[in-house]
Amino acid sequence: MCGIIGYAGRREAGPVVVGGLKKLEYRGYDSFGFAISGSKIAVYKKNGRISDFNESEFSANGSLGIGHTRWATHGVPDDKNAHPHMDCSGKIAIVHNGIIENYAELRKELISEGHIFTSDTDSEIIAHLLEKYYDGDLLSAVTKTTEFLDGAYAILALCEDEKRIVAARQSSPLVLGIGDGEIFASSDITPMLEYTQKVIFLEDGDIVSFDKSSLLIMNAGKEVSRESELIDWDIDAARKGGFDHFMLKEIYEEPDVFYNAFYFEPEEEFVSKIRDADEITVVGCGTSYHAGLIFRYLMEEYAGMPVRVEIASEASYFKPRPGSFIIAVSQSGETADTLAVLRQAKSAGCTTMAVTNVCGSSITRVADYSLFMRAGPEISVAATKSFIAQVAVFMRLVDELSDKTLSESFTGIHRVIEECLMVDVDAAVSMCKGAKNLFFIGRGAYYPVSLEGALKLKEITYIHAEGYPAGELKHGPFSLLDEDTPVVAVCPEHDSRALMISNIREIKSRGSPVIALGGAGDIDLEEIADVFIPLPKAPESGDIITSSVILQLLAYRTAVAMGRDVDKPRNLAKSVTVV
Ligand code: F6R
């Protein structure tokens, strides 16, 4: 995920673009850059954050500008991979948000035609395609170029010989802001809000040409008109895309996040190394550890392969065996405990792989292989979308190591996750917010789902919550059950259902109220639970995702009802870089 901005207007473009990038920084902050068009195109790009940009380092006059703040996907975060990217002549500049899936073949073709590439990104091919098709009309060149692109893109292009910006949108957000003698284009409305509230949300296939006062929108070769809207968001709310908190925004991104993370092509080399390993061990902390536990159950069930899962801070007390394949899972890629085990494993001669959300993060530099979750920046301290992405990556690996039943059945999962966002959790929230202690229980892969549900709730509400294997509660914790201790039971249609129902009956007879998540239409569950939350119908193992999303919403809504600081819970940090 990256942020882009374009400006054509009566002001100096430089400060508008730089100010806009600062507002888009939440979308990615690996590197930034901009191009300002005056008599020539002047470009500045740099590894690091726009918030650290020193304005005395660059000045260029011009009333047209484009800018980019990057969340690296192809190519490590460094100066050369930062946008804008230029064609060979230096006359055309582009910024791009999205992923060009067929970039490798296009790049090869362009190189064979003599184009010189200066970055490792997928995006640079767009500048060279524009160069190839430019014959004095940037709009036609962009139109022609998009015919060759597979994937997702929001593109802004400048050409030294023209006093306009041309934009294109396909599956990546792009919105126009219509001001008085100025027009903006951006990934979201935040950069334009201080100048105008009149916006146009572009649609897939739209190609737009604009200068400070004229606007032309084309789609499928024809001119189209798009309704403008007046936005009354304040700037701070808009940064969160209209959501009250980043956590809710990030939960709402999960349908796309799952899809992006699940659909990747694993490299045959590391897949066969996993297959041939003497032992497979996953290490991680907190939420990442829980994702590892889910992987263990799925590997056993689908691939028949045992997996060991260790909390990273404890794993260092075990000696890694050479011949093991060690998977370090970490959203940030910087967690010190995880990094320490990875280094230890590496020096013991194990093969290592990182599963992370951050390209260029420390664990990717240590590990032999890296898999990226592609969830985009997660700002709220509580991990939500990154957990869904971790599970998605693990599910894809399981799929690759088994008979591919998951990928076949997951084609409609996007819509199922969207349905979860609409599920009513109000009755459960009322029960949780008054409690001092709670248990979350599940069996099989739903045991780590319940661990994660409990972690989310305790982390942001400060209510004590424990995840437990449902069958284990009677071996001690039963003494804690009473009418003030609700139990959240994750009980979808699964082999464990019958045993879960008898565990729920045991709990009920000790006086604890039960909130049960189960298959829609599960009459038994509906009857015994005090609050029943029906799960949208999902493909096999898809309930791991649906129940996780709903437990995140339960934690979020309970925290809001209790007036907690949801995005920044006390005593915590997003990235834990100390052991
Ligand atoms: C919980 C949470 C933490 C992290 C843990 C590991 O919501 O965010 O438990 O999961 O600190 O962080 P990463 O995944 O960055 O290694």
Would residue 433 show up in a list of annotated catalytic residues for this protein?
Answer: no
Indicate whether residue 380 lines ligand 1 (CB < 6 A): no
Residues 6 or more apart whose CB falls under 8 angstroms from that of 153 comprise 96, 97, 98, 100, 126, 146, 168, 169, 170, 171, 172
Contact of 432 with 455, CB cutoff 8 Å: no
Q: Quote the pLDDT of residue 336.
A: 84
Q: Which of 229, 94, 90 is nearest to 168 (CA)?
A: 94
Q: Quote the pLDDT of residue 576.
A: 64
Distance CA 77, CA 330 (A): 18
CATH superfamily ID and name for 240-408: Glucose-6-phosphate isomerase like protein; domain 1 (3.40.50.10490)
In which band, very low, low, confident or very high, does the pLDDT at 306 lie, cut at 50, 70 and 90?
very high
Q: How do strand 165-170 and strand 151-159 relate by DSSP bridges?
A: antiparallel
Would residue 2 show up in a list of annotated catalytic residues for this protein?
Answer: yes
Per DSSP, the chain holds a count of helices (H) and strands (E) of: 20, 25
Distance CA 219, CA 222 (A): 5
Distance from Cα 334 to the centre of ligand 1, integer Å? 10
Tell me the backbone φ, ψ of residue 4, rounded to 5 degrees. -130, 155
Pocket probe mutation, ligand 1, options 247, 250, 282, 285, max atoms within 8 Å of Cβ: 285
Q: Summarize pLDDT for 335-376 with one digit per residue, the tens.
A: 889 999 999 999 999 999 999 987 667 788 799 999 999 888
Mean pLDDT over each residue of the chain, to the nearest integer: 93
Q: Summarize pLDDT for 438-475 with one digit per residue, the tens.
A: 999 999 999 999 999 999 999 999 999 999 999 999 99
Q: Which of 2, 359, 420, 432 is catalytic?
A: 2
- Whose CA is closest to atom 9 on ligand 1? 286
Q: Which of 159, 156, 142, 141 is nearest to 96 (CA)?
A: 156
Return the structure tokens found at 76.
């490590």
Residue entry with tokens 């565990």: 503
User: How far from 121 is each of 63, 70, 72, 149, 293, CA to CA, in Å?
Assistant: 28, 11, 9, 14, 34
In which band, very low, low, confident or very high, does the pLDDT at 187 lie, cut at 50, 70 and 90?
confident
CA 516 centroid distance within chain:
28
Query: In terms of pTM, does the model score above 0.85?
Result: no
Phi-psi region of 467 (alpha: psi -120 to 50; beta: other; left: phi over 0): beta
In which band, very low, low, confident or very high, does the pLDDT at 499 lie, cut at 50, 70 and 90?
very high
- Whose CA is closest to atom 3 on ligand 1? 286
Residues 6 or more apart whose CB falls under 8 angstroms from that of 75 comprise 81, 119, 120, 121, 359
Contact of 526 with 498, CB cutoff 8 Å: no
Contact of 35 with 91, CB cutoff 8 Å: no
Distance CA 158, CA 357 (A): 31
Residues 6 or more apart whose CB falls under 8 angstroms from that of 423 comprise 533, 534, 535, 536, 550, 553
Other residues' Cβ atoms within 10 Å of the Cβ of residue 52: 9
Distance from Cα 384 to the centre of ligand 1, integer Å? 10
Second-level CATH architecture of 3-234: 4-Layer Sandwich (3.60)
Q: Quote the pLDDT of residue 491.
A: 97
Distance CA 162, CA 168 (A): 17
Indicate whether residue 576 lines ligand 1 (CB < 6 A): yes
Q: Summarize pLDDT for 40-78 with one digit per residue, the tens.
A: 999 999 998 888 898 888 888 999 999 999 888 788 889
Indicate whether residue 339 lines ligand 1 (CB < 6 A): no
Phi-psi region of 225 (alpha: psi -120 to 50; beta: other; left: phi over 0): beta
Q: Summarize pLDDT for 165-183 with one digit per residue, the tens.
A: 999 998 777 899 999 999 9
What is 423-566's CATH number, 3.40.50.150, 3.40.50.10490, 3.90.950.20, 3.30.1520.10? 3.40.50.10490
Distance CA 523, CA 102 (A): 49
Indicate whether residue 332 lines ligand 1 (CB < 6 A): yes
Indicate whether residue 286 lines ligand 1 (CB < 6 A): yes
Indicate whether residue 335 lines ligand 1 (CB < 6 A): yes
Kindly report, as residue ranges, where domains of CATH 3.40.50.10490 are found in the chain. Answer: 240-408, 423-566
Q: Summarize pLDDT for 568-578 with one digit per residue, the tens.
A: 888 877 666 55
Q: Any idea what the Cα angle at residue 480 is, between residues 478 and 485, rounded to 5°?
A: 110
Residue entry with tokens 């998605």: 392
Return the structure tokens found at 141.
């060149």
Distance CA 389, CA 181 (A): 43
Distance from Cα 387 to the centre of ligand 1, integer Å? 9
Q: Summarize pLDDT for 237-259 with one digit per residue, the tens.
A: 556 777 999 999 999 999 989 98
Alpha helices in 90-186 (DSSP H): 103-112, 124-133, 138-146
Identify which of 36-40, 483-487, 564-568 has the greatest average pLDDT: 483-487
Indicate whether residue 312 lines ligand 1 (CB < 6 A): no
Residue entry with tokens 């008085």: 180
Kindly report, as residue ranges, where domains of CATH 3.60.20.10 are found in the chain. Answer: 3-234
User: How far from 215 is each of 114, 130, 195, 303, CA to CA, in Å?
Assistant: 35, 21, 17, 55
Tell me the backbone φ, ψ of residue 280, rounded to 5 degrees. -115, 125
Three-state SS for 250? Answer: helix
Contact of 139 with 146, CB cutoff 8 Å: no
- Buried-exposed string 128-152: b where 16+ CB fall within 10 A, e elsewhere: bbbbbbbeebbbebbbbbbebbeeb
- More confident of the two residues 188 and 219: 219
